[in-house]
Chain A
Amino acid sequence: MTPINKVKVMLIFPSMLAAEPISYYLVKSYDLKINILKAYVNYNVEGRLLIELEGTDANIKNALKYLKSLNIKTIKNGTGTYIDFDNCIACGACIAACEPGALKLENDKLVFDGTKCLECRLCEKACPERLIKNVFNQR
């Protein structure tokens, strides 16, 4: 039996495509279980979709190819969370906020594991330097 895999992907798609029923094709043509974790989709506006894809490696690979062919940017293991590491002082305040353990200190540096991030966005509130933001905030 072919092993089933799960990947988390951030999709950034151009404004002209918001009307394309992507999720329908992902299920129908690629036999994927999809789980939408977060979405910012507006008709005729650049959209963002954080999505979990579950299926065989080959199907996931082909699905990502299909998305790319539509001019959709795909970021694997992506999350909407982004951190200004250049200005981070590694104080550790965000770690207290992060229940899934996506944030930790390693050798005095903050390390972020996007695969563990559940986008609860509590770290944004916790950062005393206000260096943690989310792409879903951009509009």
Chain B
Amino acid sequence: MAKTYKEINEKIAAGKAVVVDAEEIIDIVKKDGLKKTAEKVDVVTTATFGPMCSSGAFVNFGHSTPPIRMSKIYLNDVECCGGLAAVDTYIGATQPGEKTGIEYGGAHVICDLIDGKDVLLKAYSPGTDCYPRKELRTYININEMNEAYLYNPRNCYQNYGAAINTSSKRLYTYMGILQPNGQNITYSTAGQLSPLLNDPYFRTIGMGTKIFLAGAQGYVAWYGTQFKTSVEREPNGVPVGGAATIAVVGNMRDMSTEYIKPAVYEGYGTSMFVGIGIPIPVLDEEMLKYLSVEDKDIYTYVYDYSDRSSEDNIIARVNYADLKSGCVEINGRKVRTSPMTSMAKSRQIAAVLKELIQKGEFILNEPVMKFPQDNKLNSITIREKSKRK
């Protein structure tokens, strides 16, 4: 029997919704079967807490007297985007500090703002008739600003390639430290708990889906950049290797650094751990089938990061049950594996979201726009001349 968003939301509002997380649902379905479980369970919570570089925050500082049209902007000596209106800016999470480098970058500024700390704002302008001020230096915190919201253009990867290094040199990458001679593999996903792996065809996740974003109730704003749905899939619909992403938005004033943290990857740069939880309604048996996906049925490729000059650098095809076991066999040799995504934090978020829904404090939103189903990726072709005549 199919359920509607309205019916599920009524149960949530009445505090009667049956909510479990995407790991708990696996055993429930095994025990009670799809039909019975689909009737009993209303919502399944999914979550992830991984480094997501394509993240940042829009803020509006408010105007000074006399006003300034900021064209060079620094927060705690981390450069922010000029090129918007007078006192708007975008803080990119991966921007390194002018003096601190990757050890204190955009992600640190964002988290300091969420923590309510004072940050040093320095802004410069050529000065105009309407905006005569040329320089501004002040301390400011999130409560003194106008808007401050996180807008992350590419988060929550549906699946992602694992990394290995077959060269004789140790590599420092955004996939962590890769030891020489293929000694270790790193991978980044919450697997069977991860939001987009539980809704592989985006039946319930679309523009307007309400989500848990770093402690706030945020939204899916659009499909993420490098959105790829035209991909190789397992019979269960789950893509093999990197696939779709989502853009997310949420009010930073409602966030907590319990669920969002700056990250520093040696030799690579600053990034940001973003905690995302997405509730998925059990609309029918088909939806439940997707939600009961297990690590052993989610596959990814292992890419050789020592060879970035070609696309043909796949070493193996592995599943996440094996990757999460701490060791996989590659060409007859045991290779140790380790994650980049915190399962501890992911599980914490899935549990917090579950509780919010059980208490009736988190109502689901039906997406207002579905995402493209056959999107392919473009890549840069380097050419010397413009095609235009």
The chain A residues found within 8 Å of chain B, CB to CB, are 89-93, 95-97, 99, 101, 104-105, 108-109, 122, 125-126, 128-130
Q: How far is the CA of A92 from the CA of B325 in the complex (A)?
A: 13
- Interface centre among B273, B336, B341, B344, by most A CB within 10 Å? B344
Q: How far is the CA of A109 from the CA of B345 in the complex (A)?
A: 10
Residues of A within 8 A of B336 (CB): 95, 101
Q: How far is the CA of A93 from the CA of B163 in the complex (A)?
A: 13
Taking a contact as CB atoms closer than 8 A, the residue among B183, B266, B273, B347 that contacts A91 in the complex is B273
Determine whether the beta carbon of A126 is less than 8 Å from that of B326.
Answer: no
Taking a contact as CB atoms closer than 8 A, the residue among A104, A108, A122 that contacts B347 in the complex is A108
Determine whether the beta carbon of A93 is less than 8 Å from that of B183.
Answer: no
The chain B residues found within 8 Å of chain A, CB to CB, are 49-51, 103, 172, 176-179, 183-184, 186, 261-266, 271, 273, 326, 336, 338-345, 347
- A and B contact pairs by CB, cutoff 8 A, 13 listed: A89-B344, A91-B49, A91-B51, A93-B265, A95-B338, A96-B176, A96-B338, A99-B179, A105-B338, A125-B172, A128-B264, A128-B271, A130-B103
Residues of B within 8 A of A129 (CB): 261-264
Given A90-B342, A91-B51, list of 9 further CB < 8 A pairs? A91-B49, A92-B341, A93-B340, A96-B178, A97-B176, A97-B177, A125-B177, A129-B262, A130-B264
Determine whether the beta carbon of B177 is less than 8 Å from that of A92.
Answer: no
Determine whether the beta carbon of A128 is less than 8 Å from that of B345.
Answer: no
Residues of B within 8 A of A90 (CB): 342-345
4 smallest CB-CB distances across A and B, nearest first, come from A128-B263, A108-B344, A95-B338, A92-B339
Q: How far is the CB of B205 from chain A (nearest CB, A)?
A: 24
Determine whether the beta carbon of B177 is less than 8 Å from that of A122.
Answer: yes
Q: How far is the CA of A90 from the CA of B263 in the complex (A)?
A: 13
Q: A92-B338, A93-B176 are in contact. Are A109 and B344 (CB under 8 A)?
A: yes
Residues of B within 8 A of A93 (CB): 176-177, 186, 265, 338, 340
Q: How far is the CB of A95 from chain B (nearest CB, A)?
A: 4
Q: How far is the CA of A104 from the CA of B325 in the complex (A)?
A: 11
Determine whether the beta carbon of B341 is less than 8 Å from that of A91.
Answer: yes
Determine whether the beta carbon of B342 is less than 8 Å from that of A91.
Answer: yes
